[in-house]
């Protein structure tokens, strides 16, 4: 008989958790991942779901996600264990018709609840699906170089975007809309979810100062790739700043404009300011 863990989307989810752990982005239970399942994926595993468990509060309202199913990491669960025993560390949840409650339908077989960042994940999913229904993945990690930069760069979208764009020619092509910055806030609740989802209207990535990064994407490859690209750029910036406190040369605004033309991307002028 088929198991939920045999489904392709579950295998890809588990692989992404393991890839993230191997990058060093998930110390202990750090980070969380959620995936909005496609109707055909829900149908594929429907018989294996238990839809009798009690509904619990999400902690916010996501009306536009009513009736949707998500594969989500468990709160307090370690990414390094997901590949070993997925059914203990991840779960499928269903959002109720009011968009305020969820029910665990599969997984977390030894107990537990979905990630404490569920409000942020679901509010981000809601913002994204309203913009483009192809968005399916929300990913939160604790990449060290990006976190380090949140102690030395001004916590401004335009500064983080421009500084990271300058670190690798591929960056403006991979995240042409830039990235946003949420100042330090208490994690795990509605307030930080509201601030993050505001930024997700404009960007696919939002930094949490002194904490980590949230990324959104259509699929696992794109979302992991976005996290990877941003953290790689952050690593280069940390190296550059560790060598000396100025850049002898860099990519200039007009060079970004030229790149945008050749690569058919639109780079907002707000990030191409003169320094
Ligand atoms: P969870 O274990 O609840 O997912 O929390 C980890 C985390 O990174 C909180 O921001
Ligand atoms: Zn975190």
Residue linked to tokens 């399916």:
136
| CA-based R_g, the chain, Å | 19
Start-to-end CA distance of the chain, whole Å, equals 62
Distance of CA 162 to the CA centre of its chain: 20
Q: Calculate what percentage of the chain has a pLDDT beyond 90.
A: 100
Mean pLDDT for the chain overall: 98
124 CB within 6 A, ligand 1: no
Say yes or no to pLDDT of 1 above 90: no
Residues with a known catalytic role? 117
Q: Which of 165, 166, 206 is nearest to 183 (CA)?
A: 206
What's the CA gap between 23 and 201, in Å, rounded?
28
- For 28-70, the pLDDT digits (tens) are 999 999 999 999 999 999 999 999 999 999 999 999 999 999 9
Across the range 96-121, mean pLDDT stands at 98
183 CB within 6 A, ligand 1: no
> Which is the closest atom of ligand 1 to the Cα of 29?
2
Contact status, residue 142 vs residue 212, Cβ threshold 8 Å: yes
pLDDT range class, residue 269, cuts 50, 70, 90: very high
- For 200-212, the pLDDT digits (tens) are 999 999 999 999 9
C-alpha 232 to ligand 1 mean position (Å): 22
Q: What angle do CA 179, 21, 184 make, to 5 degrees?
A: 40
* DSSP-assigned letter for residue 16: H
Distance of CA 275 to the CA centre of its chain: 30
30 CB within 6 A, ligand 1: yes
What's the CA gap between 33 and 139, in Å, rounded?
5
Pocket mutation for ligand 1, best pick of 21, 71, 76 (most atoms within 8 Å of C-beta): 76
User: What pLDDT score does 195 carry?
Assistant: 98
- For 135-150, the pLDDT digits (tens) are 999 999 999 999 999 9
81 CB within 6 A, ligand 1: no
């Amino acid at each position: 008989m088929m198991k939920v863990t045999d489904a392709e989307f579950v295998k890809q989810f588990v692989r992404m958790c393991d890839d993230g752990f191997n990058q060093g982005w998930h110390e202990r239970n750090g980070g969380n991942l959620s995936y909005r399942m496609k109707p055909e994926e829900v149908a594929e595993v429907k018989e294996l779901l238990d839809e009798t468990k009690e509904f619990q509060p999400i902690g916010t309202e996501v009306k536009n996600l009513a009736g949707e199913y998500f594969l989500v990491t468990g709160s307090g669960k370690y990414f390094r264990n997901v590949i070993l025993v997925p059914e203990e560390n991840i779960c499928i949840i269903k959002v109720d018709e009011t968009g305020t409650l969820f029910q665990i339908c599969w997984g977390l077989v030894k107990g537990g609840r979905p990630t404490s960042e569920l409000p942020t994940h679901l509010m981000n999913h809601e913002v994204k699906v309203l913009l483009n229904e192809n968005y399916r993945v929300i990913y939160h990690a604790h990449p060290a170089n990006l976190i380090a930069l949140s102690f030395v760069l001004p916590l401004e979208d335009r500064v983080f975007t421009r500084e990271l764009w300058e670190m690798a020619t591929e960056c403006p092509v991979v995240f042409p809309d830039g990235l946003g910055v949420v100042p330090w806030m208490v994690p795990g609740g509605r307030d930080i979810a509201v601030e993050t989802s505001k930024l997700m209207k404009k960007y696919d990535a939002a930094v949490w100062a002194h904490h980590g990064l949230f990324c959104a994407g259509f699929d696992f490859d794109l979302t992991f790739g976005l996290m990877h690209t941003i953290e790689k750029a952050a690593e280069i910036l940390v190296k550059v700043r560790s060598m000396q406190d100025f850049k002898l040369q860099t990519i200039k605004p007009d060079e970004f404009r030229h790149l945008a033309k050749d690569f058919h991307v639109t780079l907002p002028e707000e990030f191409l300011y003169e320094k």
